[in-house]
Structure 1
Amino acid sequence: MLPSGPARTLVPVLLAALTGVALATAPPVRAADRTVAGGRLDWGVKSSFQSYVTGPIAKGRWSLTGGAATVGDSRFRFHSAAGSYDRDSGAFRAGFSGGVHFTGHRQQDGTYRLDLTVSRPTVRISGGTGTLYADLTSRAKTTGKVTTSAQVPLATLGLSGVSMRGGGSSVVLKNLPATLTSQGARAFAGYYAAGTPLDPVSLSADVKGAGPGTGDRPDAEDAEDRETGGREEKPAREGEFRDAAVDWGVRRTWREYVTGTIAQGEWKLSDGARDGGALFRFPSGRGSYDRKKATLDARFEGRIRFTGRHGLDLALSGVEVAVRKGRGTLSADVTNPDVREQGVPLVEFDVSSLRPEGGLITVTEAPATLTSRGAQAFGGVYRAGTAMDPVSLAVALDAGARLPRLPDLGSDTGASPSAGVGAGDGEGERAAPRQATAASDAFPLVPVTFTAGAVLACLAIGAGAVAVRRKRGRAGADSADSVSDSVSASASGTSGGDASEGRHADAPSSAPGTGTEPPR
């Protein structure tokens, strides 16, 4: 989270309080030269729809694709904003990567009557009007016909009190009311009528001007070169490497627990670790590789610390990866208030091949399971053998090889406390950047470093949380602090009472094969 500006920023902040928009001063740059490069969009689609899909009627699930992640009160986070911004006219366009796939009402042949994918959302604002576009693939609830449509104008965005002109190095829009369009209703397989409120939309996008000295954020690719790649130095001797990175998100339900209503916590990255939304990157790996023996050893930089209520305090650093006989182990130094232990093997994963291609060794999203010592490190939150987030590894053997780029969340990547806990995945399921799922209520019940009394108290809280997990408070809340050099706007209100509460009681009839459909 970026800190508040110094005293000289009080005037813009005061203006923000009066008008709902903070306009920062920035060196003049031609509007046509300003591009959007990096950022994120947070949107729950429709929270009552999420509840319906994973509830007792549809008995379905959702999964994430393309590096999308979850954040806060069961919102989905889309990443790597790209587009343009004209600070004179206020015209803004930003497309985001990632998607979410909803399925429900499983049929005997294994297909689903409810089958909807929303991906690549794009926000366009011009002339005081805003529209949310997205790629949609859906199965019609009456005919079963599958339709794929690109960049459908899915929802109109409420911009009351928002001025987009004159911004600086970022554009921040919070809680914009979203209303389903007629085209969106058709693409939504007819589950909702045009005019239905959807969840509000929040986004943060970095704006980059042309030429040096603009004060804008540098290219994400350049930043990543400085932190994890692009080195020109050669290995000291054959078999050694000095440029590698490992990506691991721990476990999606763990991240949701940390920022959820029980722990009400956060995580902080330091020593070069980076946040990719659905994963964390530990960079600057160095080590050795033996092609004949198919072995690899690497140590990485970066530290992550999870903190929250009820004594939650867990830090991981000194991450190491060792590969032997097609099996990989990810270890780390584990620190909490009671224990400091080095080189703890946390997860194991399969490695099908270590053969380099183009000077680069890659292991992509290898399924990972928790070790017995890893289970102890997490305070018994998960059992040994639990499926954790997958592990991805990239090792550059040649000076010219480039590591895979991380999803770009923009300049403000802090994890914010949530107003609710998202549905967790089952013990046998795997949460991953490309295949994170929600199908049950599994989530950590016992945080790290509890006293006996705190354990009992948290279990009681946890039992209540299961009962109300899909009842959400104000949708789309974003606790990120306003940045002084940004266009920052916040629209009041939500997408409608039942959408925020996620209830089933008011569900009208006619969902496929059940006599009901998602609540409106």
Structure 2
Amino acid sequence: MAAISRSRRPLALAAAVAVALGAGALAVTSASAAEAPLKDYELTWGIKQSYRSYVTGMAAGSFTPAGGATQAADNGAFTFAGGTGTYDSDTHAVRLGFAGSLKIASKLHGFDLTLSDVRFDSGAAEITADVTSGGTTQDDVPLADVTVTRTMTGMETRLTKEAATVLGSASYEGAAGDPLTVVQKTPPTQSPSPTGSPSSSTSPSPTTSTSPKPTGSASSTASPSASQTTSPSASSSETGAATQGDIADGTLGWGVKQSFRTYVVDGPAKGRITASGGATQASGNGDFTFTEATGTYDTDADTLKAAFKGAVNFKGHEANGSYGLDLTLSGLTVELDGGTGELTADVESLGKTSDDVVLAHLTAGSSDLKAEDDVISLDDVTAELTKAGAQAFGGFYTEGTVLDPVDLSVALSDDAQLPDGNGDGGSGNGSGTGGSGDSGTTSGTTGGGGTTGSTTGGVTGALASTGSDVPTGALGAAAAVTVAAGAGVVIAVRRRRQA
């Protein structure tokens, strides 16, 4: 891995950590050496919660700490103990190295790597580690930028480009990692003043003495497993339409979470996405639209149930002509009552089908259903992953994760015009290959083939896609288990912006 230039935080800001160090460790006089020894420190960092869930869930892998490293219960964060290093009284920089190693492995997805010699440098504001994979070790790989605070607890982290390579997905670059805490195992009896003066004998309260974020420090970014949404709203004016009856037509805009689409097409799965049967996908591996809604509505009772035509297939991890991921969503149905409801779908994975799986809880911005020009439209409906949905994804996303919002428009009469201008609900149904999709007007296939994961500088990505040496039977069995748990690998979607 080629070395890259990394910016350093202003040295004056490194003094913010001095208050967290014991007076004994910092008791240096002007005649002493600039660096004082530090020992008995612990570093706790979980890398990223969604990554841990992926490893032990979808990848059916494991974390194995050793040599003094430990992991918290319930697939929690990792702690590296035995930290030793130095405190520089001139620059106020803390540099610590920690004992222990962490092995991360999955036979199913074909990765096996070990992190060791984990280091924290407050002056450089970063975490580094030696990374061993495929018999090759790279020293001091920068894994995360750190927003250093005075107490060195709960510090924000941002994953680096190198970390994305190690973890096997470009989507991790710049993503917010888990918070980082660096503390002395045996609490010091005294702490220096907030100025970092070693001669101070008073102990400031960590709850009231905190430093501002370093200038130019890495800012926290949103996780691939959590999407931000705006407040949804319903149509605001009534028309002369009947207050209840059958739905004549309609469309559903939903886009199976961008991070999942990226994983399938551009990430380790090296696969493709195919929309069919009336469903379409926007160009550039975009969102999906499901069409030809049928169902019922009651604007007095504020209830609606609409089923949509179309299917979307996700296929990847090819090995000897077979696929470890082969998932189809169809029969999408939205049911709302007083502004809340559910999104369900039939889920087929590797030939096994689970019908009417509740994927998401829905919450509209208003409890009232109102029609305008014989059309009920609901935009940016909030969707949260259900327990069944979380199980379907093998724990890669947790229950309650906010999914991408849903857009819904249904026509209450045959001549009503839906927002995209279609009065008959019939989108064209064509075909395409490798990245096709005409702004959501035709069905087609996005993506391409491939069986090997990315490798940079001898470090193979932890999410590398399976190769021909991975038993196809094992891939199929693991994928089948997810369907039994709740219905295969499924997540939510990005809204489709209609014209």
Q: Do both proteins adopt the same fold according to a TM-score greater than 0.5, normalized to the shorter chain? A: no
Return the TM-score normalized by structure 2.
0.38
Return the TM-score normalized by structure 1.
0.36
